[in-house]
Homo-oligomer: A and B are copies of this chain.
């Protein structure tokens, strides 16, 4: 592992995208999201994916200059055709539309079709919450979570993100896959050849496995509850946008590089003042979070609010850099030798 300097890396990713003809906004949102996500410690959805996204722009899977088209029939709802933009960009365009509708009408929701992997859903929820709104973000993904009672996967890891502003600190941020653990965790266990914990994953026949190399599907979080929530996310994203469902979606890494995947998303923004005075809401929420953190702890870890671990990691990684696997750094350098200049030190 070697550490990238986050801010230098963000700039260099931006420049590298620009150098192959990616438009300014796409390059800006994609580089910002990747680095923010890794600074927050969410390694599965941050800078590790840059080489993959870069190749996807070159192969034509991702559109370097997407033409976003909104269809808006009523005041608080919209459908966005993202023209195969990288999801980091389409998500911001959609969330900004939600904020605009929320400002005017109290809330707004936007379904997005013809998009692609959007990185961490927290990027969009935080975008709204930093502007003072409650933001929610959802996406579907290719089938990877075993259906409850079934042998095979049916829905994706279909995350739910909920963010709200806090006083004196970054917003509250819940960002969770509806699977018990992420597929990336399974891949890390494959690298280290460690055994998976019970109930994490299943083999091709739907039987529980501990061998990470046999894992073919993931357990939903809370069994049928996570499975049901994954279905809710699928309906909001794929069906309200008129797109393909998880089971029919091309896999992110193993399908042809040029094939467009038709990922779909869903976003909601609530204008807090439309319900209750925003200042008193933020004060109540901040008080609740403080009370929660002061609850007696069961073990060595304190009681935390969603997003607290990421808040701890952020300043550390901002100072010490973002650790990255050497094989991924090699991919970076093969794309642009200048990425070497963004490295800080070896661990």
Contact = CB atoms under 8 A, between A and B. Distances in A.
B270 A109 contact: yes
A154 interface: yes
Contacts of A231: 172, 174, 292, 305-306
A228 B106 contact: no
A225 interface: yes
Given A149-B304, A240-B272, A242-B276, A226 B222 contact: yes
A284 B237 CA distance: 13
Interface string A215-249: 00000111111111101101100011110010100
Contacts of A180: 222, 225
A124 interface: no
Determine the main DSSP class of A at the interface with B: mixed
Contacts of A76: 75-76, 101, 105-108, 274
A302 interface: yes
Interface in A182-210: 206-207
Interface stretch (A43-51, A59-67, A293-301, A320-328): A293-301
B226 A75 contact: no
B151 A298 contact: yes
A280 B242 CA distance: 8
B222 A74 contact: no
Interface in A262-305: 270-277, 280-281, 284-285, 288, 291-292, 295-299, 301-305
A148 to B, nearest CB: 7
A168 interface: no
Interface of A: 73-77, 79, 101, 104-109, 111, 134, 147-152, 154, 160, 162, 164, 172, 174, 176, 178, 180, 206-207, 220-229, 231-232, 234-235, 239-242, 245, 247, 270-277, 280-281, 284-285, 288, 291-292, 295-299, 301-306
A109 B270 CA distance: 9
A147 B303 CA distance: 7
Contacts of A245: 284, 288
Nearest to A246: B288
B151 A296 contact: yes
A74 B226 CA distance: 34
29 contacts: A73-B106, A73-B275, A75-B106, A76-B105, A76-B106, A76-B108, A76-B274, A77-B107, A79-B275, A111-B275, A147-B295, A148-B303, A149-B298, A149-B302, A150-B296, A151-B295, A152-B296, A176-B224, A178-B225, A180-B222, A206-B296, A221-B222, A221-B223, A221-B226, A222-B225, A224-B306, A225-B226, A231-B305, A231-B306
